Amino acid sequence: MTKRFYLTSYAIFVAWMAFGQDWQSKIDPAVFQPAAAGLTVDCIVVLAEQAELSEANFIPKRKDKGA
């Protein structure tokens, strides 16, 4: 669960850096309260766009597809 939290936090940070938007206004404050206390938070991230993955069909190894 900790790994998921860090990945989610990283995704939010990357989105914030990439788009420079006020990302905190888009997240429910209930997510920040436990995180501020050092607890992990389960959440669902909904992206504005879906990635273009049609070329992934031509990558033979699953590990390489993830990268």
- pLDDT for 57 equals 81
Q: How far apart are CA 7 and CA 44, in angstroms?
A: 12
What are the DSSP E strand ranges found in 1-67?
none
Query: How would you classify residue 55: left for phi > 0, otherwise alpha for psi between -120 and 50, otherwise beta?
Result: alpha
- pLDDT for 30 equals 80
Tens-level pLDDT at each residue, the chain (67 residues): 577 777 777 777 776 666 666 777 777 788 778 877 888 878 788 888 888 878 878 888 777 777 6
- pLDDT for 49 equals 85
- pLDDT for 9 equals 75
- pLDDT for 32 equals 79
Q: How far apart are CA 50 and CA 62, in angstroms?
A: 20
